[in-house]
């Protein structure tokens, strides 16, 4: 029987988006696990204790990632259906199937040299900064943080520069669609495009992630490569955009960071670490389904029902965090943990810190025009995403003396083709 005390708490409301940590504090009365509603009629268990979260993430024998036992319960038009329905990729599979897809991704990403990636981020950042630098004001979410990861992925997957506008439109179309019809149209166009790209790379491989996936010893089929690309770009886009935006919001509203532009002590990496602990890009995800009825730290969870991890609540859980000095920065759960932990965390942090450093080095007096506590957040049970991040700065012009974002990228000192295979095509967008 559902009583007031056990009624699932909605994670899709505006109140939750405004202050999720107040909701997590309220949920702590349940212990390490609490009943929540992800969308109307979609009920789940949210793990909010640190140790309980680790237990789920590190125990694939008990907790499966495959939603097919449950997804028939999802209302077909539910807004969370795309995030929770099974697909043929690493996120929704266990065991050997998962390991095969995951190895193809980790092996392929390992061929990208960090300095080549940094150079790509510099050129992509400069290109975006050129669009607003002479204006003196910008929405850092719409014009920078959300635009940058998509352009980077285009390059990494070897999509020709001239296709980048329509590819970015399709990707944004299916990830940020306002209706299922719009999402489906974008998805079909992107899928068709990717099939052509994969066929072309099979015919004539280049030095890019698509070719490396095609050539991988896992012998992925054409459809599997297409699904890997789609999964990786969508898994990477939202959290990377939020990591950049949330860290910039912290930095540009706090004088301790502001001073660093010339002389202070705190850096972009500090802001990223702070965000990963205290305001992570994904607040809750890692959906699992127990293979049998389980008792998780005092809560009975029924076999085949969804269990999500609240990285945000677990990171800040007051009582069950490991005791002792917390000098390590590796123990937050914001990249998850266990077999499905984010396989691309180092590149993701490198992209984010480089993008922030590049922006603040060109626009060194950039400041928010809205106080931090008046910023607004997009509703939704999974992400921690700002709706906008308005900022102001002293404009800079293309014909300005010395190096500027317009002339520096043209004379970049780092060669564009620079990876461990010497042939990588992480070219400028």
Interface positions with ligand HEM (CB under 6 A): 90-91, 102, 105, 231-232, 235-236, 239-240, 243, 276, 280-282, 285-287, 334-336, 340, 342-344, 347-348, 351
| Residue whose pair of structure tokens reads 């939020």 in the numeric block | 242
Distance, CA of 6 to CA of 40 (rounded, Å): 16
CB neighbourhood size of 227 (10 A):
19
Distance, CA of 234 to CA of 177 (rounded, Å): 13
Q: How far is the CB of 342 from ligand HEM (least distance, A)?
A: 3
The CA distances from residue 370 to 34, 234, 253, in Å, are 34, 29, 9
Of the pair 133, 235, the CB lying nearest ligand HEM is at: 235
Q: Which two tokens stand for residue 250?
A: 């912290």
Question: In sequence order, which ranges of 299-381 are alpha helices (DSSP H)?
Answer: 311-315, 345-362
Q: How far is the CB of 393 from ligand HEM (least distance, A)?
A: 25
Of the pair 145, 282, the CB lying nearest ligand HEM is at: 282
Q: How far is the CB of 98 from ligand HEM (least distance, A)?
A: 6
Distance, CA of 404 to CA of 110 (rounded, Å): 32
| Residue whose pair of structure tokens reads 């029924």 in the numeric block | 302
Q: Which two tokens stand for residue 17?
A: 């988006």
Q: How far is the CB of 57 from ligand HEM (least distance, A)?
A: 8
Of the pair 250, 340, the CB lying nearest ligand HEM is at: 340
Q: How far is the CB of 259 from ligand HEM (least distance, A)?
A: 26
Q: What are phi and psi of 141, to 5 degrees?
A: -75, -60
Q: How far is the CB of 411 from ligand HEM (least distance, A)?
A: 27
Distance, CA of 362 to CA of 355 (rounded, Å): 11
Strands 294-296 and 33-39: unpaired
Of the pair 338, 416, the CB lying nearest ligand HEM is at: 338
Of the pair 343, 405, the CB lying nearest ligand HEM is at: 343
Buried b (16+ CB within 10 A) or exposed e, 265-299: ebbbebbbbbbbbebbbbbbbbbbbbbeebebeeb
Residues contacting 179, CB < 8 A, separation 6+: none
Of the pair 128, 351, the CB lying nearest ligand HEM is at: 351
Of the pair 34, 91, the CB lying nearest ligand HEM is at: 91
* 157 neighbors 208 (Cβ within 8 angstroms): yes
Q: How far is the CB of 65 from ligand HEM (least distance, A)?
A: 7
Of the pair 328, 399, the CB lying nearest ligand HEM is at: 328
Nearest to 338 by CA among 56, 38, 145: 56
Q: How far is the CB of 121 from ligand HEM (least distance, A)?
A: 11
Of the pair 27, 348, the CB lying nearest ligand HEM is at: 348
Of the pair 121, 396, the CB lying nearest ligand HEM is at: 121
H or E element, residue 40: none
CB neighbourhood size of 400 (10 A):
14
The CA distances from residue 154 to 37, 163, 192, 246, in Å, are 35, 9, 15, 23
Residues contacting 144, CB < 8 A, separation 6+: 125, 128, 129, 138, 244, 355, 359
* 127 neighbors 409 (Cβ within 8 angstroms): yes
Of the pair 120, 187, the CB lying nearest ligand HEM is at: 120
Q: Which two tokens stand for residue 64?
A: 């499966």
* 356 neighbors 268 (Cβ within 8 angstroms): yes
Q: How far is the CB of 181 from ligand HEM (least distance, A)?
A: 27
């Amino acid at each position: 029987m559902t009583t007031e005390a056990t009624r699932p708490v909605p994670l899709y409301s505006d109140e939750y988006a405004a202050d999720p940590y107040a909701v997590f504090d309220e949920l702590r009365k349940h212990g390490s696990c609490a009943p929540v509603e992800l969308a109307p009629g979609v009920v789940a268990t949210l793990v909010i204790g640190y140790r309980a979260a680790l237990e789920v993430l590190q125990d694939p024998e008990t907790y499966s990632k495959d939603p097919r036992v449950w997804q028939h319960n999802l209302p077909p038009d539910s807004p969370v259906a795309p995030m929770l329905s099974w697909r043929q990729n690493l996120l929704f599979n266990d065991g050997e199937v998962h390991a095969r897809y995951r190895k193809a991704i980790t092996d392929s990403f390992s061929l990208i040299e960090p300095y080549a990636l940094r150079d790509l981020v510099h050129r992509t950042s400069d290109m975006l900064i050129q669009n607003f630098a002479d204006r003196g004001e910008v929405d850092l979410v719409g014009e920078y943080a959300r635009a940058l990861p998509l352009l980077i992925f285009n390059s990494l997957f070897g999509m020709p520069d001239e296709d980048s506008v329509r590819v970015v439109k399709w990707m944004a179309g299916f990830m940020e669609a306002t209706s299922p019809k719009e999402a489906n149209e974008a998805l079909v166009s992107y899928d068709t495009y990717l099939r052509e790209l994969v066929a072309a790379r099979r015919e004539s491989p280049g030095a890019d992630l698509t070719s490396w996936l095609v050539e991988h010893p896992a012998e992925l089929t054409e459809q599997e490569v297409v699904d890997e690309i789609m999964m990786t770009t969508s898994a990477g886009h939202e959290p990377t955009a939020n990591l950049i935006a949330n860290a910039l919001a912290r930095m540009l509203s706090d004088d301790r960071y502001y001073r660093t532009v010339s002389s202070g002590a705190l850096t972009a990496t500090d802001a990223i670490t702070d965000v990963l602990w205290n305001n992570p890009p994904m607040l809750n995800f890692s959906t699992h389904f127990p293979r049998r009825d389980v008792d998780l730290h005092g809560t009975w969870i029924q076999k085949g029902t969804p269990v999500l991890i609240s990285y945000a609540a677990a990171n800040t859980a007051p009582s069950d965090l490991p005791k002792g000095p917390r000098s390590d920065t590796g123990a937050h759960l914001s990249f998850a943990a266990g077999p499905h932990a984010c396989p691309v965390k180092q590149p993701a942090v490198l992209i984010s810190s480089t993008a922030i450093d590049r922006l603040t080095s060109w626009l060194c007096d950039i400041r928010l025009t809205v106080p931090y506590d008046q910023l607004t957040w997009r509703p939704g049970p999974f992400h921690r995403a700002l709706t906008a991040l308005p900022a102001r700065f002293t404009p800079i012009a293309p014909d300005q003396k010395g190096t500027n974002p317009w002339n520096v990228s043209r004379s970049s000192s780092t060669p564009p083709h620079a990876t461990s295979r010497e042939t990588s095509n992480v070219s400028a967008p």
